[in-house]
């Protein structure tokens, strides 16, 4: 019976945890993982954005990339992301924003390290800098050439109007609801 459970455990983080504790009597410190981190690390690569200029434009097969935007006002991240099809894989480029208050909060050591490493943009004060985020959306759209900008309208009404003036017919509203 043990060998039957080993197969699924190789490919599923939640099955792995159950297999280790229930079948092998090996106790793990954490519950079920959301991601297979070994698989995630195998896919890591150091990519240069300059190598992907225009890569989001639709290819002959009709597949194209997409730039997406999700905004928060303060105690969360705002993210600008562009996802590009590359053969049978997807490549993503992300710009993550957090407020200074969030990054400097007690216990946020990882956020400070990410900021210091250039992996997260800090918005001064307690609120997100929507002008800086809008400029980042424009950089993604212009550089990668994605035909669409997907956005959640929560907090983004003014930014969507601004972007629509420059990129008519590019904005796609995607509401963050159970239906979508």
pLDDT of residue 160: 94
Q: How far is 154 from 108, CA to CA, in rounded Å?
A: 26
Q: How high is the pLDDT of residue 118?
A: 93
Query: CA neighbours within 13 Å on the CB side: how many for 64?
Result: 16
SS3 123: strand
Query: Whole-model pTM above 0.85?
Result: no
Which tokens in the block code for residue 27?
Answer: 């106790």
Per-residue pLDDT tens, the chain, 180 aa: give them.
556 667 777 776 667 777 766 666 666 665 555 667 777 777 777 788 999 998 887 767 667 889 999 999 988 999 999 999 888 888 899 999 999 999 999 999 999 999 999 999 999 999 999 999 999 999 999 999 989 999 998 889 999 999 999 999 999 999 877 776
State how far the Cα of 53 lies from the Cα of 147, in Å rounded to an integer. 13
In degrees and rounded to multiples of 5, residue 169 shows phi and psi of: 70, 10
pLDDT for residue 2: 57
């Amino acid at each position: 019976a043990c060998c039957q459970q080993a197969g699924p455990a190789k490919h599923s983080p939640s099955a792995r945890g159950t297999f280790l504790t229930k079948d092998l009597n090996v106790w793990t410190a954490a519950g079920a993982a959301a991601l297979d981190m070994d698989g995630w690390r195998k896919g890591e690569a150091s990519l240069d954005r300059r190598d992907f200029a225009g890569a989001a434009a639709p290819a002959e097969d009709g597949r194209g990339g997409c730039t997406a935007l999700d905004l928060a006002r303060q105690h969360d991240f705002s993210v600008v992301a562009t996802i590009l099809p590359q053969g049978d894989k997807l490549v993503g480029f992300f710009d993550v924003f957090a407020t200074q208050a969030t990054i400097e909060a007690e216990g946020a050591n990882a956020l400070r390290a990410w900021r210091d490493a250039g992996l997260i943009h800090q918005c001064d004060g307690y609120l997100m800098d929507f002008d800086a985020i809008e400029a980042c959306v424009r950089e993604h759209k212009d550089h990668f050439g994605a035909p669409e900008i997907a956005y959640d309208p929560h907090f983004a009404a003014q930014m969507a109007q601004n972007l629509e003036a420059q990129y008519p017919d590019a904005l796609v509203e995607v509401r963050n609801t159970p239906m979508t």
